[in-house]
């Protein structure tokens, strides 16, 4: 779930950052997403962004601000670590490979590893 929701939200920032640099969207990102993610993650009710669910009724329990804020932060860190060009190349590989099917987080890590030539899924699994 975090893949879908996290990327949709993160791409909003990417679009504004690329097309309207005068908005300084990445400064807002720190205040709006990173700070919120830290605050929410400090709560006892926090949860990982990747959660296994057993039935569809459990979706409501993990479809929250924590998922968005933490997912955005992970995507931003990954983009900064790999570089924007490699990050986007990894996304293209991932989207083309799974455009008609389902994917799991490891599939994204593998696509970024392929794009970068690095084994990025080792440290990314910690998220």
Q: Where are the beta strands (DSSP E) in 55-106?
A: none
pLDDT tens per residue, range 84-104: 999 999 999 999 999 999 998
Supply the pLDDT for residue 121.
56
The answer to whether 87 touches 79, Cβ cutoff 8 Å, is yes
Residue 39 vs residue 5, higher pLDDT: 39
Res 79 pLDDT > 70: yes
Q: Which two tokens stand for residue 102?
A: 């389902």
Q: What is the mean pLDDT of the chain?
A: 86
| Whether residue 28 has pLDDT greater than 80 | yes
Q: What is the pLDDT of residue 9?
A: 87
Distances (CA, A) of 14 to 11, 63, 74: 5, 22, 14
In the 3-class helix/strand/coil scheme, how is 38-51 assigned residue by residue? HHHHCCCCCCCCCC
CB 10 within 8 A of CB 75: yes
Query: Angle between the 84-97 and 105-116 helix axes, to the nearest 10 degrees?
Result: 130
Greater pLDDT, 77 or 122: 77
């Amino acid at each position: 779930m975090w893949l879908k929701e996290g990327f949709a939200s993160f791409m909003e920032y990417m679009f504004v950052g690329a097309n309207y640099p005068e908005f300084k969207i990445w400064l807002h990102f720190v205040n709006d997403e990173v700070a919120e993610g830290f605050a929410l993650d400090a709560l006892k009710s926090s949860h990982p962004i990747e959660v296994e669910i057993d039935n569809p009724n459990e979706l409501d329990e993990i479809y929250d601000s924590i998922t968005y804020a933490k997912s955005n932060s992970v995507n931003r860190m990954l983009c900064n670590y790999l570089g924007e060009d490699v990050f986007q190349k990894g996304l293209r590989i991932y989207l083309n490979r799974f455009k008609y099917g389902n994917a799991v987080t490891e599939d994204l890590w593998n696509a970024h590893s392929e794009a970068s030539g690095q084994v990025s899924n080792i440290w990314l699994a910690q998220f």
